[in-house]
Chains A and B, each alone.
Chain A
Amino acid sequence: MATVGSADSPPPLGARASRPHSPTLPSPASGGGRGGGGETPALPEEEAGERATPRLAIATATSRAFTLVGCLLIVALIGLPLIASRSLLQDLVFIFYMLTLAQFWNLLAGYVGLVSVGQQTFVGLGGYLLFALTVMVGLDPLLAILLAGTIAAVLAIPTAFVVFRLQGAYFAVGTWVMAEVYRLVFAQVKELGGGTGTSLPPAVTNSITGIDWIRRVLDLRTPAARDVLTYWIALAIAAGSTLAIYMVLRSRRGLALAAIRDSTAAAQSVGIDIFRAKLWIYVLAAAGTGMTGALIYLQKARISPDAAFSVLDWTAYVIFIVVIGGLGTLEGPIIGVMVFYLMQTYLAGFGSWYLILLGVLAIATMLFAPKGIWGHFSQRFGIVLFPVQRRISTLSKLADDAQRTSS
């Protein structure tokens, strides 16, 4: 289990049980963490030895090892443009932005129960804001990406006040309506190409801060230098988002989110402001998704309302990635995006059949393996790379043993 408590809902009373039985979990671990009541700030790094005095711990031996591997991987990825081809870099940019979108959708659906089918709202907003800020205001694209994320977050607040009036499944359709509203409004903005869309002039795409430097240092032509820069931005956004979400989940607020997910009523009864917690996550996801949208359309350099607010490209694929990989875990979207990339590379040529296959796979996963690839792997082998579950260290060995025997 990667998270505090059980990811499964309490077993239904009647015969409508649909999800597989929740595994027997070592309850001392999760119960102990929450039973602590208030907040012990996340311990920086727990000392190795087990003491007699119980202490709260989040990290595990595996996760500490992974931290090192993860850092090395990031360094390797930063250095990759030195040896990699342009097409590989472009593919990785695609992987990075889909991963970022998936992490934020996962944060909404997997942690606070906000199932949105309207995240294309913020991809489209980010993309259009990038165009508006660079073409109409004349800002540097890098600055425009940051600002696009900020403005998307600000616009998420009034949007939230509308869609938060709808509960559960109706929230999902409400977010879709909002995406349509934004799409239709941007189709009316003639300065940004109206319904047919517009392109970024080369003057903008070739003038991003840093391109000249990359050209000189790596001895590349401008288009290649632009790809390298886009790659680094995408890597920074993907790694930064994953890390930021992880920090949020490990924090005091993250504990509140896990409590809300496990039982809204119980969370409310211990004083968690549900509305504010959900609003803050919705706004955070909008900021991240908006920045990613700006990056996507900096790379594409061409935007139209139908593409920028596409439910298929920016929500359906993203949901597929999260569901296949494992909902409610940070590792899941990473696995999911790789599966999706492979399918996209080898099967996208089949057009409609490819999409039918994606739909069937997502439904089959939801019905028969709702934890996704990572969820089942993690449960089977007890491996967690991004732990957020609080364990009492003197009990942790017991809990680990219990987990191993139970699975």
Chain B
Amino acid sequence: MMIGWIDTVIQGVLLGGLYALFAAGLSLIFGIMRLVNLAHGDLIVLAAFVILAAARALGLDAFTATAVALPLMFAAGYALQFLVLNRTLGTDILPPLLVTFGLSIIVQNSLLEMFSADSQRLSAGAIETASIPLGGVLAVGVMPLVTFVSAIAVILLLNALFYSTALGRAFRATSDDADIAQLMGIETRRVFAMAMAVAMVVVTIAALYLGMRATFDPTIGPARLLYAFEAVIIGGLGSLWGTLAGGVIIGVAQTVGANINPEWQILAGHLAFLAVLMLRPRGLFPRTAD
């Protein structure tokens, strides 16, 4: 009984890694340009389909296909921001929300048109079912563990990018005050485009694990957006480690809820989010002021 609960919590923590990967891209975009991308979940699903298409067309395994998808998604992110989303940024919150909401519907239905509503899966070979015994009856799957480690690696790399590179300095300056950054010679439109491009790289990595761990279809994007959003809010805006903590809280709440009643999995995650929102409205590790 006790062992069962420990196992549930471990699964939840590892699931949290996946949610942190979903959330990191969202957090990055919001942190730099205060843009809440309602199409974020659908872009994750889009990336999963790009990986799937690359794997099928070139006969590659999922990891190699991701290497093909990464530059494509990077370029798509840059173009999306530069050509469309930059036009929506300003003091009014409505245009970015409505444009990304429209984008969400376009992406979802384009995928439905191209790939049908069938459930898909990225094949990862033997690693899918491999597990590491932890002593006794406990064991962790290699796949969830790799996901979690990847989430930590992504956060470390993003922090390195933020605090040790010229691009990161431009990101931080633009995040603090876009107008002053512009005066200092930073071309904010290109910085925003680079930010979205980097976010799409994170999204593609998230998509790889989404597709290898479970099945996906064109309609599951919005739910991923909500998990990502909840992780960001729980963690506190602007803190990537907070986002990881937020993902872990959602993940544990979901596995614990599912352990009590399988129908409560998703609901339990949402309720955990609402509880944190009521008790700590600014999240657990708030960084930015808004």
Contact = CB atoms under 8 A, between A and B. Distances in A.
**Among B36, B94, B274, residue most surrounded by chain A Cβ atoms (within 10 Å):** B94
B93 interface: yes
A271 interface: no
**Among B97, B178, B263, residue most surrounded by chain A Cβ atoms (within 10 Å):** B97
Interface string A1-26: 00000000110111111110000000
B105 A359 contact: yes
B217 interface: no
Contact of B84 (A9, A166, A187, A363): A363
Contacts of A358: 102, 105
Given A173-B229, A366-B98, A311 B112 contact: no
Interface stretch (B14-22, B46-54, B122-130, B265-273): B265-273
A356 B96 contact: no
Interface in A178-197: 180-181, 184-185, 187-188, 195
A173 B38 contact: yes
A174 B106 CA distance: 22
Interface string A354-367: 01101110110011
Contacts of A181: 267, 270-271, 274
A362 B98 contact: yes
Given A115-B93, A115-B97, A355 B84 contact: no
Contacts of A187: 263
Nearest to A167: B290
Contacts of A363: 84, 98-99, 102-103, 106
A276 interface: no
B91 interface: yes
B95 A169 contact: no
A29 interface: no
A76 B188 CA distance: 56
Interface string A269-313: 000000000000000000000000000000000000000000110
A242 to B, nearest CB: 22
A109 interface: yes
B252 to A, nearest CB: 18
A356 to B, nearest CB: 5
Contacts of B108: 355
B92 interface: yes
B87 A352 contact: no
A382 B105 CA distance: 35
A168 B88 contact: no
B102 A355 contact: no
B270 A180 contact: yes
B222 interface: yes
A266 interface: no
Contact of B182 (A15, A117, A319, A370): A15
B270 A169 contact: no
A118 B95 CA distance: 17
B137 interface: no
Contacts of B226: 173, 176-177, 180
Nearest to A181: B270
A14 B178 contact: yes
Interface string B170-186: 00000000110010000
A83 to B, nearest CB: 38
A12 B277 contact: no
Contact of A166 (B263, B266, B277): B277
Given A352-B112, A359-B103, A19 B266 contact: no
Given A168-B93, A367-B95, A359 B233 contact: no
B89 interface: yes
Contacts of B84: 363, 367
Contacts of B178: 14, 16
B113 A352 contact: yes
A162 B274 CA distance: 7
B256 to A, nearest CB: 16
B36 A170 contact: yes
Given A170-B36, A181-B270, A366-B95, A18 B88 contact: yes
A51 interface: no
B224 to A, nearest CB: 12
Given A16-B188, A18-B89, A169-B36, A355 B94 contact: no
Nearest to B113: A352
B90 A12 contact: yes
A316 interface: yes
Nearest to A176: B226
Given A9-B91, A12-B91, A172 B38 contact: yes
A327 interface: yes
Contact of A169 (B97, B104, B225, B263): B97
A160 B35 CA distance: 23
Nearest to A113: B93
Contacts of B267: 181, 184-185, 188
A259 interface: no
B101 interface: yes
A358 B182 CA distance: 35
A15 B274 contact: no
**Among B88, B95, B101, B103, residue most surrounded by chain A Cβ atoms (within 10 Å):** B101
24 contacts: A10-B91, A16-B86, A16-B179, A17-B90, A19-B90, A113-B93, A117-B101, A162-B274, A169-B35, A169-B93, A170-B233, A172-B97, A173-B226, A177-B230, A177-B274, A184-B267, A187-B263, A311-B222, A319-B98, A327-B94, A356-B106, A359-B109, A362-B102, A363-B102
Given A181-B274, A359-B104, 8 more contacts: A16-B188, A18-B86, A166-B233, A187-B263, A319-B98, A358-B102, A359-B109, A362-B102
Interface of B: 34-36, 38, 84, 86-99, 101-106, 108-110, 112-113, 178-179, 182, 188-189, 222-223, 225-226, 229-230, 233, 263, 266-267, 270-271, 273-274, 277-278, 281, 290
Interface of A: 9-10, 12-19, 109, 113, 115, 117, 162, 165-170, 172-174, 176-177, 180-181, 184-185, 187-188, 195, 311-312, 316, 319, 323, 327, 352-353, 355-356, 358-360, 362-363, 366-367, 370
Across the A-B interface, give the 7 residue pairs with the lowest CB-CB distance, nearest first: A169-B36, A14-B179, A359-B106, A352-B109, A359-B105, A359-B102, A184-B267
